[in-house]
Amino acid sequence: MSKSITNLKISVSGVRGVVGETLTPRLISSFTAAFGQYVGAGRVVVGRDTRKTGQMVEQAVIAGLLSVGCQPVLCDVLPTPSIQIMVSHLNAVGGIAITASHNPMSWNAMKFINSNGMFLNNTEAREMLDIYNQEHINNALEEQCRKIKTYENAFAIHQQKVLDNIDVEVIKKRKFKVAIDCCNGAGAPYGKAFLEALGCEVVAIHTKTDGIFERPPEPTPDALTALEKVVVEEKCDIGFAQDPDADRLVLVDDNGRALNENYTLALATLHLTKGSDAPVCINLATSKMIEDICKSVGSEVRYTKIGEINVSTDMMRCGAIIRGEAHGGVIWPKIHPCRDSFGGMALILELLAQQNKS
């Protein structure tokens, strides 16, 4: 198989490819037009991570949306969970997150979001692909072309939602000193201010947003040596590590040890299941730790297929209190049924504040 074919992945989690090889303006705009046609001629929220190729992809996305009569609402650089929250907040017909998440810098991708603010599920993704595969698409005529909208500081909506659901005063009282590693990603413009709003003293690293990731984008313990060092040197209570689109969260304890990704969800679960018997949804690859925690508090554990959308769907069905994935993905439905590093950070800090330890 040629290199270029292995470089393109069209799946339920979106369209991913290597820029300069497979992810071309034509492919992006055609896919976006098919998505626009699928969700209908309404507002579509568009945000991106910090990749160098983000503007190129964004412009093709705008063209694709306009060409079928959708109205792009541009949110500039924005974490993926914030984009999902904006779709719900604006009652948009859908959203597109331009991010290859934890893939290397040469990759980019589009993740398609439906009007519930959730990624397209298997059926929806197939329906969209069916439209893409048709020769003919209903192009908008001149008078059907919509204007481009821009939305300034969309992250404020996300931040407020989290703060409204957390005991800010308890956290503030503790005057935590925390470190955050933003992976030079979409969380970088917002992470420090978010933690400061919780009364923390913040040491932020990898905050340049020039599209160059100064550490491996996947937040595995091996990739977090810089954060570990900062936590120790600066005597921080805790360290947080995000991935380039700020949906995943990994913790570094006060001894400067990066915790296995499962711990993020385990700790958040421990916190949220207190005084509640609502079920917890996790995928098959998630640590047994979660099951043990749930057993101890009497919550039901529901296992689902791997992939955020599968976990989210099941959680919506059974009214779970929290759900998540092994890869540091905390989903706190009270905020939004999406993986959210910001909601995760707030929950962990609340847990620490209430338990009075690190």
Partner 1 sequence: MSEFIKLGNAGIRGVVGSGLNLRKAGNYCSALATWLDGGRVVIGCDTRQSTPMLKSIAMSTFLAAGCEVIDADITPAPLAHYLVSRLNAVGGCLIGASHHGLGWNAILPLNETGACASPTQTQDILNILHSRQYKLAEWDKVGSVQKVDDQLTEDYIKDLLKDIDLEAIRRSRFSVVIDCCNGSASVLVDKIFAETGLNLIKINDQLRTYLPHDPEPRPRTAYQAKALLEALGADIGFVFNTDATRVSIVTSSGETLSEELTFPLVANAVLSKCDGEQMVITNTCTTRSLDDVVRQHGGELIKTRVGQAAAIEVMQDCGAILAGDGMGSVAFKGNVPAFDDFRSCLIILENMALKGQFSSALVNDIPRYHIIKSKIPCESTQAFAVLHHCSEVFADAENIDDTDGLRFDWTDGWIHLRVSETEPILRLICEWPTEEQARNTVELVKRTILRNIGR
Q: Which residues are annotated as catalytic?
A: 101
Q: What CA–CA distance (Å, rounded) separates 229 from 239?
A: 10
Of 184, 220, 175, 223, the residue nearest 204 (C-alpha): 184
CB of 125 to partner 1, least distance (A): 21
Instruction: Give the nearer residue to partner 1 in terms of CB position, either 44 or 238.
Output: 44
Q: Between 200 and 219, how does the x/- string for binding to partner 1 read (CB under 8 A)?
A: --------------------
Q: Which of residues 63-102 bind partner 1 (CB under 8 A)?
A: 63-64, 66-67
Q: Residues 238, 252: contact at Cβ < 8 Å?
A: yes
CB of 69 to partner 1, least distance (A): 9
CB of 71 to partner 1, least distance (A): 11
* 18 lies in the binding site for partner 1 (CB under 8 A): yes
In the chain, the largest separation of any two C-alpha atoms, in whole Å, equals 62
* 30 lies in the binding site for partner 1 (CB under 8 A): yes
Q: Which of residues 102-161 bind partner 1 (CB under 8 A)?
A: 105-108, 139-145, 147-148
Which range, of 17-25, 165-173, 333-341, 346-354, touches partner 1 by CB under 8 A?
17-25
CB-based contacts of 63: which residues, under 8 Å, 6+ apart? 25, 29, 32
CB of 86 to partner 1, least distance (A): 20
Instruction: Give the nearer residue to partner 1 in terms of CB position, either 106 or 207.
Output: 106
* 28 lies in the binding site for partner 1 (CB under 8 A): yes
CB of 58 to partner 1, least distance (A): 8
CB of 218 to partner 1, least distance (A): 18
Instruction: Give the nearer residue to partner 1 in terms of CB position, either 60 or 204.
Output: 60
Q: Between 250 and 289, how does the x/- string for binding to partner 1 read (CB under 8 A)?
A: ----------------------------------------
Instruction: Give the nearer residue to partner 1 in terms of CB position, either 104 or 319.
Output: 104
Q: What is the total count of residues that contact partner 1 (CB under 8 A)?
A: 37
Instruction: Give the nearer residue to partner 1 in terms of CB position, either 7 or 116.
Output: 7
Instruction: Give the nearer residue to partner 1 in terms of CB position, either 30 or 260.
Output: 30
The site for partner 1 (CB under 8 A) is made up of 18-21, 24-26, 28-30, 33, 52-53, 55-60, 62-64, 66-67, 105-108, 139-145, 147-148
